[in-house]
Amino acid sequence: MPRRAPVPSQHLFVSPSGEALSRWLEAFPRAVLAKPKELRKGSESVKNAALVWLHLDQSLPCVDQLVAIKKKIGTTRVIVLASIPDNEDALALFSAGARGYCNAHATAANLKQVASAVQAGGLWIGEALMQRLVVATHGALSRKTLRQVPEKTPQSFSEKLHLLTARENEVAKTLANGASNKEIARMLGITDRTVKAHVSAIFQKLGARDRLHLALIINGHSPT
């Protein structure tokens, strides 16, 4: 019976500095770190890697970085970590074969979720981008197709969170990511008239004058 190679199980973090953010190690204490140029095809760190996390160097084209890494690691799956996530970049990276794309400052718990999904054979895409992909491709090729998920709920909004009902909260967050009323309606399985009713109630409770203002409040950009 032929002996089997050990199953790769490590997380290999490749970053411009060769150093890790604390939450990466919190999520994966035995992670291996490297700079891009340090990687060698066939090296132990590459062979033992179940997942490779590529922290983008902001001064270089993102897809080039992915392509360069892939040449060294072969078919191992890559999850891209962006310090400043961008939908355009994400799309380009997925087209080029990345299996995940998330914020470099994501929590340890979130990183684990991402790893789990990708190792299960899935892709990890931010919900905002996902909705964009689905809606854009599904013939609803309207201009108004996008949501984005803020990394953290800004404090001013979180302080006001208790003013909203659960449904209002759901609508508010979705709206603040850029969704239109029709899109919110489809996502929540209700009519856009219902969404409008919630939106109006939210405006009143949070003192917003329109949806743009609401988004600024929720994302922490409005002096309220």
Partner DNA sequence: AGCCATATTGTCCTTTAGGACAATAGCCGG
Partner DNA sequence: CCGGCTATTGTCCTAAAGGACAATATGGCT
Q: What part of residues 27-46 is at the interface with DNA (CB under 7 A)?
A: 41-42
Choose the one of DNA, a copy of itself, none that binds residue 106, judging by a C-beta under 5 to 8 angstroms depending on kind. Answer: a copy of itself
* Most distant CA pair in the chain, distance: 72
Query: CB neighbours (10 Å) of residue 84?
Result: 10
Minimum distance from CB of 107 to DNA (Å)?
A: 27
| Sequential DSSP letters for 135-164 | HHHTT---S-------SS--HHHHHHGGGS
Decide if residue 88 touches DNA (CB under 7 A).
no
Minimum distance from CB of 187 to DNA (Å)?
A: 11
**Which residue number, 9 or 116, has a Cβ lying nearer to a copy of itself?**
116
Minimum distance from CB of 36 to DNA (Å)?
A: 17
**Which residue number, 14 or 164, has a Cβ lying nearer to DNA?**
164
Report how far residue 191's alpha carbon sits from residue 102's, in angstroms, rounded to the nearest whole number.
Answer: 31
**Which residue number, 83 or 142, has a Cβ lying nearer to DNA?**
142
CA 184-113-18 angle, 5° bins: 120
Q: How many residues bind DNA (CB under 7 A)?
A: 30
Query: CB neighbours (10 Å) of residue 5?
Result: 8
The DSSP call for residue 73 is: H
Burial tier of 139 (Cβ tally within 10 Å: 0-12, 13-18, 19+) = exposed
Minimum distance from CB of 168 to DNA (Å)?
A: 5
Minimum distance from CB of 151 to DNA (Å)?
A: 20
Decide if residue 203 touches DNA (CB under 7 A).
yes
Residues that bind DNA (CB under 7 A): 41-42, 71, 74, 142-144, 165-168, 180-182, 188, 190-194, 196-200, 203, 209-212
